[in-house]
Structure formats: structure tokens, C-alpha cells
Amino acid sequence: MDLSSIEIFLAVASDRSVTKAAKAVGRVPSNVTTRIQQLEEDLGASLFSRDGKKMTLTREGETFLAYANRLTALALEARQAVRPLAPSGTLRVGTMESTAASRLPAALTQFNQMWPDVSLQLTMGASRDLTRAVISDALDCALIARPPKAMRKEEPDFDAELKTLAMEPVFVEDLLIVLPSGHPSIKSAADLRVASLAALEPGCTYRRIAESWARKTGALPTRELGSYHAILASVATGNTAGVMPKSVLDLMHWPTAVQTHPLGPVETLLVYRKGDRPSAFNAFHEVLGATKGRDLRLAMN
């Protein structure tokens, strides 16, 4: 058992897919599969149940997950402890509200514990606004949602802006249309029986994906709301559909039933300017990788 195998295990556990995990860790899928099989042989237990391309943690996998998180966190602390220069100064990080809620708590807590001399300033906003803030040097880095390939052709200006930055995928979100509990099941936007779509601000990538999908119904106005709780409350009225990532819906424990329709996976990218970066950025980058998905999985369990 080595740290690279554990990191691969954590990536598969987080993304529930060998293909997505391979992209996240910069390996080919066959290598990821082999490393997982070797780890299972080493431990003498099956860590995942395989249903087609979907990888779900077994009971043994859930048990090992806690130890894997502890091992990677300890390894990170050991690497940082022997470095002669500790990061300091200010690190300006932008993030979407959904990512801050479902993905960042563990990373931010560990970063603060390890590097108390760094002043980490968190700014929340829509993907387009955060991207432009990184380009203009108002932020050092940001976590944004990248539009699917088909939409990038419709938004050449945003895609061109992204290409001026360094970027790497860190999470994959399952985007959902959330429907009232009594709404009939749907197969496409044509089956919607609501009067409006509830979403966040216009610069939100999730909103633009949902609006592009809903265009097939004709004119479906968008209600702009300020939070995901407000979106769910609007859905509960029975005449509105909402859009949000599954990771956020899983965390909210909403008291009334809702139905969901998948819009597909959406990548969350870490974007930053090319060239020199603050020393605190490299420390944040390492902590983000080591704690990837931890809070989300604990909340769902």
C-alpha cells in the first residue's frame, strides 16, 4: 500500500467513476483500475461494488475511507513540516456558493490549522464573475463550473477567457433539475408542467445549463433567487422547477419530498493565472487535493 494508491482510491470514491477519477489524478483509466485491484488484493477486501461504470463503496470501502483520509492528511502534514519556508501573507480564493457548502469545509479547516500565518480571504460569486476576477488579479485563484462542450461554442467569449488561465479539474458535480413532489416524471424539458425556472444569478454556469436545456419548452421565464434554500422553497410552491448540484441537495435535508431529473455531470475547475503564484497557493492546492470530497461523503453517511 502506498500513498499514490490511496489518492487514487479517494478519487474513485469521490467521483464514483474510474474514468472521472483518472482524469482528476492525471492517469489513464486502465492504470486506475489496476491500482484499485492491487489495493483490494493488499487489503484482502473488495472496496467497491461495480454497477456498469458506477463505482460504489462497499461496507469495507466505507471503513477504509476514514483511514485513507487520515493517512493522506498525515502525509501532507509531514511534507509541510520539513519544508524550510512556511507560506504566509494573503491568499484570495473565489468559489461558487455550492462548492463552499459541499466541498470546501474540510480543506479550509485543515489549511487554517496548518498555515495560521496565511490570511485566506474567501469570495463567493458566479463562475463568470470569478473567472474575470482571477484574470484581473482581484483573486489569486477560483473554483468555477465549466460549461459543457456544446455550450462553450455558444459562449466563445467565456471560453476564450478561460483559456488565458491555467486550469485543472478538481470535482465533478451531478447537476439536477428539482421538481415539486407531485410533478409527473419527465424525460425531457418538453415534459415540464411548471411556470418558471428558479436559479441563481445570470453568471451562474448551472443556471445557463438549465436555461439552455429548458429552451426546448419554448418560453420558460427564470426566477432569480439568492440561495439554494430559496430555490427549494420556490419549488415547494408547486409551480416552479429549480436547478442545483446533487451535492448541495444531499446536504440540505429538505423536510418535504422533491423529484429530480439529471442534467449530467459538470466539472468544477480550479483556475489561476499562469506563471508565478503566491507560496500560499501551492499549500492550498495540496490541502484541497488531500481533503477532496471528505465533507461531502461524511454528510451523506
Instruction: Cell 418535504: give the residue.
Output: 256
Nine cell digits for residue 238: 408547486
Could you tell me if 232 and 248 lie in one domain? yes
DSSP 181: T
Tell me the CATH number at 155: 3.40.190.10
pTM: 0.71
- Positions of the chain with pLDDT lower than 50, given as ranges: 296-301
Q: What is the H or E stretch that residue 17 is in?
A: none
Amino acid letter, 43: L
Instruction: Cell 496548518: give the residue.
Output: 114
Could you tell me if 198 and 279 lie in one domain? no
Q: Nearest-CA neighbor of 288 among 27, 135, 114?
A: 114
Could you tell me if 177 and 247 lie in one domain? yes
Could you tell me if 93 and 137 lie in one domain? yes
Could you tell me if 206 and 225 lie in one domain? yes
Q: What is the pLDDT of residues 210-246, one digit of tens each?
A: 999 998 777 789 999 999 999 999 999 999 999 999 9
Beta-bridged to residue 223, according to DSSP, are: 198
Residue 272: per-residue pLDDT = 94
Residue 297: per-residue pLDDT = 41
Q: Are 271 and 134 in contact (CB under 8 A)?
A: yes
Could you tell me if 22 and 67 lie in one domain? yes
Tell me the CATH number at 45: 1.10.10.10
Question: Under the phi-then-psi rule, with left for phi > 0, alpha for psi from -120 to 50, and beta for the rest, what region is 169?
Answer: beta
Domains identified in the chain, total number: 3
Could you tell me if 166 and 181 lie in one domain? no
Could you tell me if 132 and 25 lie in one domain? no
Beta-bridged to residue 259, according to DSSP, are: 179
Could you tell me if 131 and 185 lie in one domain? no
Could you tell me if 140 and 217 lie in one domain? no
Residue 301: per-residue pLDDT = 39
Full residue range of the structural domain in which residue 201 is found: 173-265
Residue 299: per-residue pLDDT = 39
**Residues in the chain, total:** 301
Q: How many CB atoms lie within 10 A of CB 266?
A: 18
Could you tell me if 67 and 137 lie in one domain? no
Could you tell me if 157 and 207 lie in one domain? no
